[in-house]
Structure 1
Amino acid sequence: RNEHGNALVPFNCEENPKLGRWADAQRWLYKSEHMKKERINLLNDLEFVWYKLEHTWSTNYKELSDFKEKNGHFDVPKNSPLRGWITRQKNQYKLRAQDLKNHLTEERVDALSAIGFPWPEEIVVKNQASCSEMF
């Protein structure tokens, strides 16, 4: 954590493969409720990241929120990894609108909406013809 600024240890940690496997095992034990409370508390004290995807989403959200506050818009540079994340949120929103499998929870929609996130204005459902096209 001191070296990288967080306790997000990936499974495929190149610097220390054993640490990566150990961290993954801790996450499994935690999720399967086989971990003792003392160990949970110790890892929490280190700010151990239990849910990697949630941590990544929250980190990107914070970065986007800070960008918007500083610049007054969401037009991040094209070479920024954040640009791809924004696109993925919009794509997830489209899937959600069509009741398809997605990872955009109501809480995430609310959080993004709260900062004025530019959702897709028109969501087109494939193979759905308009009334004018039908007659």
Structure 2
Amino acid sequence: MNYNALVAYKKKYGHCLVPQGFSENPILGNWVFSQRVAYKELRKSIGNGKTVIEWSSRMIKARFEKLNELGFVWDVKEDSWEMNYNALVAYEKKYGHCLVPKKNKALGGWVDKQRGMYKKFHEGGPKKEWALKAEGRIKKLNKVEFVWKLKRGRRSG
């Protein structure tokens, strides 16, 4: 029932990012959220050496595969980071640099956040979540010649 509602949502909106407080169908929003929670539990269980049988009651393989086929986003924050990174790559291809002006609020804000997290990472105090992914993200951003530190007096925007 909820899966079919998700299929209909995707057909209407083009994605599976149902907000938890989705007013048209609050049950669907909560169900989508619970699938992500179950997935996180699954990953944690496997990381702790548990077998598939121990987590199968929460997230059966068939459901997982069906949701994957639908294009379900398991990690919304990671998906958002990748979308912004792809937007930066497109920006760099168009303009030849990664100095996104502040007037480009969405991408410019994301670029500033990456610089701030990079600084915290090198000072030893980033948010745990970013620190775990930092090395891979830094490598990806370096591929597009990301400017980590702006010269004094130079502002992107």
TM-score calculated relative to the size of structure 2: 0.71
- Aligned residue in 2 for 1:133: none
Equivalence for 1:117: 146
Query: 2: distance between equivalents of 1:75 and 1:106?
Result: 21
Per-residue CA deviations over 1:83-117 (Å, capped at 9, x if unaligned) read 10000000000000101033151100000001100
- Aligned to 1:2, the other structure's residue is in SS state helix
Aligned partner of 1:85 in structure 2 is: 110
Contact 2:98 2:145 survives alignment (8 Å): no
Aligned position for 1:96: 121
Taking the aligned partners of 2:80 and 2:122, their CA distance within structure 1 comes to 23
Q: Percent identity?
A: 38
1:72 aligned onto 2:81? no
Please state whether the residue corresponding to 1:32 is helix, strand or coil: helix
- Give 1 or 2: higher helix fraction: 2
Deviates more, 1:30-39 or 1:41-50: 30-39
**Cα deviations by residue, 1:9-28 (Å, 9 ceiling, x for unpaired):** 22233443222111001111
Unaligned runs of 5+ residues in structure 2 are 1-9, 43-57, 152-157
**Which of 82, 89, 97 is residue 58 of structure 1 equivalent to?**
82
Q: String of CA shifts for 1:57-79, please: whole Å, max 9, x gaps.
A: 00000011111111112233414
- 1:18–1:100: structure 2 CA closer, same or farther, 3 Å change rule? same
By how many angstroms is 1:80 displaced? 2.9
Match in the other structure for 2:68: 44
| RMSD across aligned positions (CA) | 1.7
* Structure 1 stretches of at least 4 aligned residues deviating more than 6 Å after TM superposition: none
Q: Quick one: distance in 2 between partners of 1:60 and 1:17?
A: 28
**5+ long unaligned stretches in structure 1:** 123-135
Give the count of matched residue pairs.
122
